[in-house]
Structure 1
Amino acid sequence: MVAYTSAPSDMEMGLEQRTVVLVEKKSSTERILKLSVALLVVALCVGGILVFAWYWSGRPDKMTQPGHTDALIDKDTAEKTDPHTTLRRISSKAKAAIHLEGIYEEGESLKEQLEWRNDQGQAFAQGGFRLVKNQIVIPQTGLYFVYSQASFRVSCSDGDEEGAGKGLTPLSHRIWRYSDSISSNASLMSAVRSACQNTAQVDSYRDGQGWYNAIYLGAVFQLNKGDRLWTETNQLSELETDEGRTFFGVFAL
């Protein structure tokens, strides 16, 4: 039998080879472990963010009592669609604008007219607009949006007899213009409504609650410097002049 012996160099080479293999296995294992931990941390962070976002996205409904959410939505929608609020917001951003609130006190208003005020409620004037003798004076020649609203509440009950009531009551609102270029008055816009047309069918009219409606006017016009604008309204005693119900304004485009 032939006996084999290992030379020291062979043993050293074997040891070195084994050592190298062991080191490589350890390094690879550590990298895999670190990568797995990193992926796990990222997954947990992403999951936490998603859960947090989902929780808070549904939170406002839970914080609002039943019925309050619909009420807030209705209120917000009403504010956005209300012409007075919309026009007030637009005109406040214009360089030249005026917005007036109307008042009427029977026996005290100037010549029994709807009186316009620039110092109450949401009224204001800027950019050279002036209110002179109840008329708006245009500061510069250009394009302007002119608007006005008159609100009415007509009592359709008339007389002491049960069931007696007023006939058709015409309500009118008009905007006039005077310009030196034409040297005469011109009607810019006007509208007419009929009140109390259904008194025989609606009991509330006879109960004194009245008939309520508003006449709104609005359009764009080319106006000249110094032009004057004013309104003419009938049935002044039936006007509703609470804040925001009857107004008159102009703003530059």
Structure 2
Amino acid sequence: MVAYTTTPSDVEMGQEEKTMVLVEKKSSTGWIWTMSVALLTVALCLGGIQLFALYWSRKPESMTQPGQTETLVKKDTVEKDPHYTLSRISSKAKAAIHLEGYEGGESLPEQLQWRIDQGQAFAQGGFKLDNNQIVIPQTGLYFVYSQASFRVSCSDGDEEDAGKHITPLSHRIWRYSDSIGSKASLMSAVRSVCQNTAQEDVYSDGQGWYNAIYLGAVFQLNKGDQLRTETNQLSELETDEGRTFFGVFAL
């Protein structure tokens, strides 16, 4: 608001010839009104931000990118089945191979044999299976993995001897490379079963002990390298689809 006051002109001039001078004064009520409007604006902005955050926190589905729906639906399946997970990952790689295993054969009776034409097995990007070995197509980083599953009978039909002997299970991946001039062990694991068959265990269903040995890690491999497995207790192998496998994919 604006108030006006009068000031006298030159004192030597007559009273009739006084000049009116307008002087603007700032009212304190105007300053209070301006501050009130500013505070109200800030409060409205903060309230809007909180409402926006609350709205989006209750609708996570709307933020899901195309193609993620299938992943969310199959989350439980992936977590429970490593074979499914590895086959899905390797199938999306540019260069990959995934093999299914079976017990022995006429050509290699003392080895766990691998097949490229069974179950979810496949090969792409230059990988090939040659003489039961995976041949690396190009030099680079690769994830190498394998699993061997066993069903071991501990009692041998004699209940008195149950739990008195230990059966060792082993699974290993070998690498043959011209660059090193010999073979080298990439990964290996050993597990013992039948330590105490008298006590019930989640791995036993009355038909023997079920055990799986899994191997997996990243390696720098060269073109032409050959990978093969070595497994004991071949007669105890479980070769149903998805239980024994061997694979490599490029990173």
| TM-score of the aligned structures, taking structure 1 as reference length | 0.66
Deviation at 1:119? Answer: 0.4
Deviation at 1:240? Answer: 0.3
- Of 120, 127, 130, 1:129 maps to 127
Amino acid corresponding to residue 111 of structure 1 in structure 2: P
Contact 1:172/1:192 (8 A) holds in 2: yes
Contact 2:169/2:232 (8 A) holds in 1: yes
What is aligned with 2:13?
none
Contact 2:203/2:211 (8 A) holds in 1: no
Cα displacement string for residues 201-227 of structure 1 (whole angstroms, at most 9, x for unaligned residues):
239999851101100000000000000
What is aligned with 1:240?
238
Cα displacement string for residues 181-239 of structure 1 (whole angstroms, at most 9, x for unaligned residues):
01101000000111111113239999851101100000000000000000000000000
Cα displacement string for residues 44-73 of structure 1 (whole angstroms, at most 9, x for unaligned residues):
xxxxxxxxxxxxxxxxxxxxxxxxxxxxx9
In structure 2, the CA distance between the partners of 1:202 and 1:135, relative to structure 1 (3 Å rule), is: same
Q: Does 1:99 align with 2:117?
A: no
What is aligned with 2:27?
none
In structure 2, the CA distance between the partners of 1:100 and 1:203, relative to structure 1 (3 Å rule), is: closer
Matches for 1:179-190 after TM superposition, within 5 Å: 179-190=177-188
Cα displacement string for residues 125-167 of structure 1 (whole angstroms, at most 9, x for unaligned residues):
000001000000000000000000000110111254x332251
Q: How many residues align?
A: 180
Q: Which has the higher helix share?
A: 1
Identity of aligned residues (%): 82
What is aligned with 1:163?
160
- The DSSP-based 3-state class of the residue aligned with 1:92 is helix
How many Å separate the matches in 2 of 1:174 and 1:203?
26
Deviation at 1:83? Answer: 1.1
How many Å separate the matches in 1 of 2:210 and 2:150?
6
Deviation at 1:80? Answer: 3.7
Matches for 1:143-154 after TM superposition, within 5 Å: 143-154=141-152
How many Å separate the matches in 1 of 2:155 and 2:241?
26
Runs of 4+ deviating beyond 3 Å: 73-76, 78-81, 202-208
- Of 225, 228, 231, 1:230 maps to 228
User: Which segments of 5 or more consecutive residues in structure 1 lack a partner in the other structure?
Assistant: 1-72
Q: Does 1:90 align with 2:89?
A: yes
How many Å separate the matches in 1 of 2:73 and 2:110?
39
